[in-house]
Structure 1
């Protein structure tokens, strides 16, 4: 399956053709039969078959939250996202963020925790079907995480480079949406501080929700229509063309693209 059909649809009109049309033949890392679970994997580090590599709370940037909320068929995703908004469970203008309490614990995890901790299970994971409720609009970590690669070390390097590139893209796009919706650079920096935390305040480490007063301040006037805000963020990004996108990611983003173009011809099935 081409990457075009594995990445969020919103990228189809802006990412380079070389990336979108690449068709990875990954046979070693499969979601339906987890390659890291018993009995396939006999190594010390292994995952539970019912949890797989989904013991992780991913970040969903604002425009992908908007994409999910605009998709009429994503009814379960709607329920999950609206629940987070109603509970003030780190639904922020940058996107859906893992609670600081979760982030700190995950970032200080012990060897063997990942793939085993059911209490860390992704909130978007469907335990009944053992698949993802937001798959087509999932974030960069979930898109590019491969425990094994049919292309060997070069393949793992490719996925790592794609992850770096897509993270840069996510950051550029979510910041563009914030700028167009009247958030200042200082406000953006404050919001980004809620992502990938290694430490938290005593209050943050005791609760999975943000106090209403703090949340209202962070939302910059959009607190009472967060769903509408996410949809507007989606529209900002959806209206970008390739020229605007490349201007947005600048030299650093284009350098990350070049790294991908360079490694693609080196991918050989092992």
Structure 2
């Protein structure tokens, strides 16, 4: 689904080694000043907005590698916080903390740790089913600023692609077009937002799929899996076509 430019080999970001996090303070750095992530947070102080079809891809996966990730996502779905037809969204309380935290909180605040991170093992439990931000973020870039700008451009494209696929899936599943494109007006956090409880109107939001959210996401994945490059070009319009053919 990526533009043809990405069919060329992309050099690995060898300096960003998640298995041996270069942003954690090791024995050699104990006496050195600098900015480091904590062992429990790493770079995962980010709650991903996971598109519906990608949630379905994870839930459809088999075997042990993502078993813990599936369990955690199923718990999130059961709780109903941030669970929408568009996908799993970060809760309002988390969004509030994220927007009002200082830059130095990134990689350090345990209050911002992603619920899908295995803090003991230091691993993402849903890898490789990552959304655009997690898929393109690196703590260090082999090409410096050029590398950072490159991955920001890839992220922008992928976020646009995610939106196109999510909207297509919802249309195919008979969703009201007005509900798909309507953006909620900014509002303060209600009691259920502050307490991380299922919001009022949850059943109305899900309509006939209420109680069957996991099945909805799996079906979304099935629809998205049938899309080809030509379909993305058609669905994404001129902007997506230019990116795909560049």
For normalisation by structure 1, the TM-score amounts to: 0.81
C-alpha distance in 2 between matches for 1:71 and 1:21: 29
Q: Which aligned pairs between 1:49-88 and structure 2 lie closer than 5 A?
A: 49-73=39-63, 74-88=66-80
1:253 to 227, 240, 245: 240
Contact 2:233 2:241 in 1 (8 A): yes
Distance 1:87 1:101 in 2: 15
- The total of aligned residue pairs comes to 241
User: How far 1:43 sits from its partner (Å)?
Assistant: 6.0
Which residue number corresponds to residue 104 of structure 1? 96
C-alpha offsets along residues 92-139 of structure 1, whole Å, 9 cap, x if unaligned?
111111111101210121131111111211111112221111111111
* Alpha-carbon distance between aligned partners in 2 of 1:101 and 1:165, rounded to the nearest angstrom: 28
1:169 maps to what in 2?
161
Contact 1:69 1:78 in 2 (8 A): yes
The CA deviation at 1:244 is 0.9
Hey, what's the Cα distance between the residues in 2 that align with 1:43 and 1:36? 12
Per-residue CA shift, 1:135-182, capped at 9, x if unaligned? 111111111112221012111111000000000001111111111111
**Structure 1 residues 21 and 67: alpha-carbon distance in aligned structure 2, compared to 1, 3 A threshold:** farther
2:53 partner SS: helix
Distance 1:201 1:63, change over 3 A: same
> 1:183 and 1:22 mapped to 2: Cα distance?
39
Question: 1:245 Cα deviation (Å)?
Answer: 1.3
Question: Structure 2: which 5+ runs fail to align?
Answer: none
Contact 1:99 1:208 in 2 (8 A): yes
CA distance in 2, matches of 1:181, 1:256: 27
Q: Which residue of 2 aligns with 1:150?
A: 142
Distance 2:95 2:242 in 1: 30
Partner of 2:21: 34
Q: Name whichever of 28-37 and 244-253 sits farther off.
A: 28-37
Residue of structure 2 in register with 1:222 after alignment: 209
Segment of structure 1 superposing worse, 96-105 or 70-79: 70-79
Deviation of 1:48 after TM superposition, in Å, equals 1.2
Contact 1:90-1:209 within 8 A present in 2 as well: no
Measure the CA separation in 2 of the matches of 1:249 and 1:69.
26
2:181 corresponds to: 189
Which residue does 2:189 correspond to in 1?
201
111 and 16 in structure 1: CA distance in 2 versus 1, 3 angstrom threshold: closer
Distance in 1 of aligned mates of 2:128 and 2:192: 31
1: distance between equivalents of 2:33 and 2:139?
13
Q: Cα deviations across residues 214-248 of structure 1 (Å, max 9, x unaligned)?
A: 11111121112111100110011111122111111
Aligned pair 1:125/2:113, yes or no? no
Q: What is the CA distance between 1:16 and its match in structure 2?
A: 4.1
Quote the Cα distance in structure 2 between the aligned partners of 1:209 and 1:47: 30
1:210 to 198, 212, 215: 198
Question: SS of the counterpart of 1:122?
Answer: coil
CA contact (8 A) 1:84 1:91 kept: yes
